[in-house]
């Protein structure tokens, strides 16, 4: 008989206020130093089998099939749609943390252009998603740290790639866990919990989406890093989908489905901590079933854009102009130098093709302030922004 999923235990701690010492005497007085609070003590799950409601299990299996079908569709046309969907998933995952930026800003950030901080962080999330997919063959504690390192590179105050050495919590004050609705496990417990989670991720004896959702919930319960846990945890979910071969080609934008009900997503994580894994599995299944039609609509819009471009530009088959159109569909913000290098076009010739596409309305040109001179495909950027708008925008309470 399957055991019930374990509820969290808790252990008493004494708040020392150490994390806010740098904020000055006033903050220290407000920190409630010496007060008692309780941190979570999750169970080890490597040998446990999550049991979910029958209806939820059927929904999860339906979602797995839909994800696999969509992945196959995209895989047949990976060059155009794979990179776009990867960035769309990274953008949606970032929006759950209230990090929003336009597609133009995100692609410009990838080129090293001067953009708002949010755009740079979403661009970093894209790199973390890509790293997660590349690391999917071995989901170890070290590989999860590498996902985080890529995500948080350059943000030294959050020790990229290192487990936290401090408390993190949800709700209450920014400077103290006293009165918080949830305080993650003590930092000393994190390494062992993460090793256990990694071993759980390596299992192959349960339905894929149940496996993914429960592993994600355990990761968020441990909250192993000082920041970036949500985005790293959703990158882990993509890695697990790849490892299970539900998806083989792309990062299917599951986070776009979660965005439609962020409060429900957080409530499901709370239910998981109370011993019920069904709600988080249901949320991942429902998110998958919502995200796939959104992804298909994006693909249809990109197909229409490609057709419109061909009518406007009339490229010859196999010509440099035709290859440049395909390149702009996949990478809608780029420099002339990058296009010339990637397409094997002489730098002296590439400007002639780019200017021709600008004249017919396919491309636009702008010299970014303190950044590179870039060419943009406005129609593609607008389609990606519409995808994000359909997904919705909500925030997070995690500190």
Judge whether 154 is annotated as a binding position.
no
158 is catalytic: no
**Are 209 and 289 a contacting pair, CB within 8 Å?**
no
The one-character DSSP state at 368 is -
The annotation status of 126 as a binding-site residue, yes or no, is no
* 232 annotated to a ligand binding site: yes
Residue 63: name the closest of 289, 273, 227 by CA. Answer: 289
- Measured between alpha carbons, how far is residue 164 from residues 79, 129, 168, 170, 331 in Å? 38, 21, 9, 16, 36
Say whether 231 counts as a known binding-site residue: yes
Catalytic-role residue among 148, 211, 216, 223:
223
Is 395 annotated as ligand-binding? no
Residue 318: other Cβ atoms inside 10 A: 8
Residue 57: CB atoms within 10 A of its CB come to 18
Give the rounded distance of the alpha carbon of 74 from its chain centre. 19
Q: Consult the annotation and say whether 233 binds a ligand.
A: yes
Other CB atoms within a 10 A radius of the CB of residue 396 amount to 16
SS (H, E, C) 73-85: HHHCCHHHHHHHH
Question: Is 308 known to sit in a ligand binding site?
Answer: no
227 annotated ligand-binding residue: yes
Helix then strand then coil, in percent of the chain rounded to 5, is 60, 5, 35
Active site residues: 223
Known binding residues: 227-234
């Amino acid at each position: 008989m399957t055991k019930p999923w374990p509820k969290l235990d808790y252990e008493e701690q004494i708040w020392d206020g150490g994390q806010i010492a740098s904020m000055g005497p006033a903050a220290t007085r407000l920190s409630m130093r010496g007060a008692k609070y309780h941190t979570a003590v999750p169970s080890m799950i490597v040998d446990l089998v999550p049991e979910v409601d029958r209806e939820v299990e059927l929904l999860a299996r339906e979602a797995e099939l839909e994800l696999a079908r969509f992945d196959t569709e995209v895989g047949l046309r990976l060059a155009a749609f794979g990179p776009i969907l990867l960035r769309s998933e990274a953008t949606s995952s970032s929006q759950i943390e209230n990090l929003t930026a336009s597609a133009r800003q995100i692609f410009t950030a990838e080129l090293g252009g001067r953009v708002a901080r949010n755009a740079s962080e979403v661009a970093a999330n894209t790199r973390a998603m890509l790293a997660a997919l590349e690391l999917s063959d071995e989901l170890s504690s070290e590989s999860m740290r590498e996902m985080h390192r890529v995500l948080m590179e350059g943000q030294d105050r959050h020790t990229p790639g290192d487990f936290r050495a401090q408390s993190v919590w949800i709700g209450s004050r920014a400077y103290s866990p006293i009165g918080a609705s949830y305080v993650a496990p003590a930092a000393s417990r994190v390494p062992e919990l993460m090793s256990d989670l990694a071993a759980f991720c390596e299992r192959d004896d349960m339905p894929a989406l149940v496996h993914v959702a429960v592993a994600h919930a355990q990761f968020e319960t441990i909250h192993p890093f000082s920041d970036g846990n949500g985005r790293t945890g959703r990158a882990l979910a993509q890695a697990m989908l790849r490892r299970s071969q539900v998806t083989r080609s792309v990062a299917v934008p599951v986070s776009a489905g979660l965005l439609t009900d962020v409060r429900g997503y957080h409530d499901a994580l709370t239910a998981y901590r109370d011993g019920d894994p069904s709600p988080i599995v249901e949320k991942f299944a429902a998110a998958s079933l919502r995200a796939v039609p959104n992804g298909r609509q994006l693909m249809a819009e990109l197909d229409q854009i490609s057709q419109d471009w061909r009518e406007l530009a009339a490229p010859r088959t196999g010509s440099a102009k035709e290859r440049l159109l395909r390149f702009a569909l996949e990478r809608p913000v780029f420099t002339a130098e990058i296009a010339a290098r990637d397409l094997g076009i002489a730098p002296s010739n590439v400007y002639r093709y780019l200017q021709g596409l600008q004249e017919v309305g396919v491309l636009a040109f702008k010299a970014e302030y303190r950044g590179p001179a870039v060419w943009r495909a406005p129609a593609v950027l607008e389609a990606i922004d519409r995808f994000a708008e359909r997904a919705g925008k909500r925030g997070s309470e995690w500190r």
